[in-house]
Structure 1
Amino acid sequence: MQILNTVKWAAVAALMAGPILAQDQVWPDRDSDTLLSQSDLQDRLTGRTLVFFDGGTSAYKRDGTYQWTYAGGGDWHGMWRTMEGSVVCVDFITEVTRCDRIVESSDRLVVLTADGQRFPVKTTE
């Protein structure tokens, strides 16, 4: 029973630490990447859908809701917010928070993930 309680509290602590740790992430920037101010990022995302080359989409709705649609179907829903440092965070309904950096590079928005991936945006609708 003691082990089970310890595991539960460790899981809760990890979930609570997620958003705090997200603020200290380091993204794989390149020299050609231009960071956006928090207000510019807010303006670039609000009410728009980013379409990626694989067909997936990220919809940043005006009411603060977010919807990620996989290229092959399937959705993830949450609430989005911008932060300093060209960062956008999504609090998913699954109680997981994810933060990415969105930069401009060669006249294109690019989503940088903390695990080193770069996802150029094909179009913005």
Structure 2
Amino acid sequence: MRKLTFAVILCSLPAIAGARDWNTRTGDQPLTASELHDQLVGNTLIFFDNGRSVYAASGEYSYTYGEGGTWLGHYELKEDGVACTTFVTGSIRCDLIVQNGTRLTLITEDGLRFPIRDVIPIK
């Protein structure tokens, strides 16, 4: 019986590990793959704390805090509004981008929400 229980738990681990609580709210609509591309690639997302996420057409990514300091990496766009970034440190973070009315919001895997103030083309 123990072996069977362990086998069931082991088989369910990928499903559990893949599940994400994105902390979505009523009205949040994940962007389609096309919308995600249009909103991110070649653009800078500006947050209300003046932080800036830059998604270069080359796949390079940078995030600069409002007070300074920058993280560098490369991003990959996934289906259902998810963008994953591999930072130069080797850490990986995936974010869900949702539209709610006229507002875009970035939601981290651990449920933190960051409303986007503006989207501007990279100069």
Q: How many residues align?
A: 105
Q: Structure 2 vs 1, CA of residues 55 and 22 (structure 1 numbering), >3 Å: closer, same or farther?
A: farther
The CA distance in 2 between the partners of 1:119 and 1:106, in whole Å, is 15
Root-mean-square deviation (Å) = 1.5
Q: Which residue number corresponds to residue 38 of structure 1?
A: 33
Structure 2 residue aligned with 1:91, among 58, 78, 86? Answer: 86
Contact 2:93–2:109 (8 Å) recurs in 1? no
The normalised TM-score by structure 2 is 0.80
Structure exhibiting the larger radius of gyration computed from Cα positions: 2
Structure 2 unaligned segments of length 5 or more: list them: 1-15
Q: Which residue number corresponds to residue 47 of structure 1?
A: 42
The CA distance in 1 between the partners of 2:46 and 2:112, in whole Å, is 16
Q: How does 1:61-80 map to 2 (within 5 A)?
A: 61-80=56-75
Q: Deviations over 1:3-30 (max 9, x none)?
A: xxxxxxxxxxxxxxxxxx8853220111
Q: Determine if the alignment matches structure 1 residue 57 to structure 2 residue 43.
A: no
Which amino acid is the alignment partner of residue 53 of structure 1?
Answer: F
The CA distance in 1 between the partners of 2:52 and 2:17, in whole Å, is 22
Q: Structure 2 vs 1, CA of residues 65 and 22 (structure 1 numbering), >3 Å: closer, same or farther?
A: farther
Which runs of structure 1 show a deviation greater than 3 angstroms over 4 or more consecutive aligned residues? 21-24
Q: Percent identity?
A: 42
